[in-house]
Amino acid sequence: MSECLLEMRHISKKFPGVQALNRVNFAVRKGEIVSLLGENGAGKSTLMKILTGVLPDFEGTILLEGSEVRFRNTREAFEHGISIVFQEFNLCPNLSAMENLFLGNEVRGRWRFLSYRQMHRRAQDAFENLRIAIDPAALVKDLGVAQQQMIEVAKALAHHTRILIMDEPTSALADAEIRNLFAIMRDLKSRGISIVFISHKLNEVLEISDRVTCLKDGENSGEIETKSATEDALVAMMVGREIAHMYASRRGEPLPEVALEVRSLSGPPMIRGVSFRIRKGEIVGLAGLIGAGRTELARLIIGAEKKTSGTIILNGKEVAIHHPSDAVAKGIAYASEDRKALGLVLPMTVRENTTMSIHPRIRNQWGFISAAKENEISDTYIGRLQIKATSREQVARNLSGGNQQKVVLGKCLAIQPHVMILDEPTRGVDVGAKAEVHKIIADLADEGVAILMISSELPELLHVCDRLLVMHEGRLTADLPRDQADEETLMKAAVS
Q: Which amino acid is at 463?
A: H
pLDDT band of residue 156 (cuts 50, 70, 90) is confident
Measured CA angle at 475 (ends 473, 480), to 5 deg: 120
Q: What would the pLDDT profile of 218-261 be if each residue is shown by its tens digit?
A: 999 999 999 999 888 888 888 765 555 556 666 678 999 999 99
Strand-pairing partners, residue 216, are 219
Q: Is the pTM of this model over 0.85?
A: no
- Domain boundaries 4-239, corresponding CATH code: 3.40.50.300
Q: What is the pLDDT of residue 402?
A: 80
Q: Which fold, 258-494?
A: Rossmann fold (3.40.50)
Share of the chain above pLDDT 70, in %: 96
What is the distance between the terminal CA atoms of the chain, rounded to a whole angstrom? 48
Q: Where are the beta strands (DSSP E) in 58-171?
A: 59-64, 67-69, 82-85, 163-167
What average pLDDT does range 104-113 have in this prediction?
Answer: 80
Q: Give per-residue pLDDT as tens, 426-468.
A: 887 777 778 888 888 999 999 999 999 999 888 889 989 999 9
CB atoms within 10 A of CB 428: 23
Query: Which position has the higher pLDDT, 203 or 105?
Result: 203
- Please state, for a pLDDT cut of 90, what percent of the chain lies above it: 54
**Cα–Cα distance, 124 to 90 (Å, whole number):** 20
Q: What is the mean pLDDT of residues 381-410?
A: 89
Beta carbons of 284 and 465 less than 8 angstroms apart: yes
| 3-state SS track over 296-355 | HHHHHHCCCCCCCEEEEEECCEEECCCCHHHHHHCCEEEECCCHHHHHCCCCCEHHHHHH
Alpha-carbon torsion angle 230, 231, 237, 240, nearest 10: -130
Asked if 62 and 70 touch (Cβ cutoff 8 Å), the reply is: yes
Per-residue pLDDT tens over the stretch 337-384: 888 878 899 999 999 999 999 998 899 888 899 999 999 999 999 998
- Per the model's pLDDT, the better-predicted residue between 36 and 488 turns out to be 36
Is-same-fold flag (4-239; 258-494)? Answer: yes
> Concatenated DSSP letters for 169-185?
TTTT--HHHHHHHHHHH
Domain ranges of the chain: 4-239, 258-494
Residue 1, pLDDT > 50, answer no
Alpha-carbon gap, residue 88 to 343, rounded angstroms: 13
The CA-CA-CA angle for residues 477, 147, 74, to 5°, reads 150
For strands 467-472 and 283-287, give the pairing. Answer: parallel
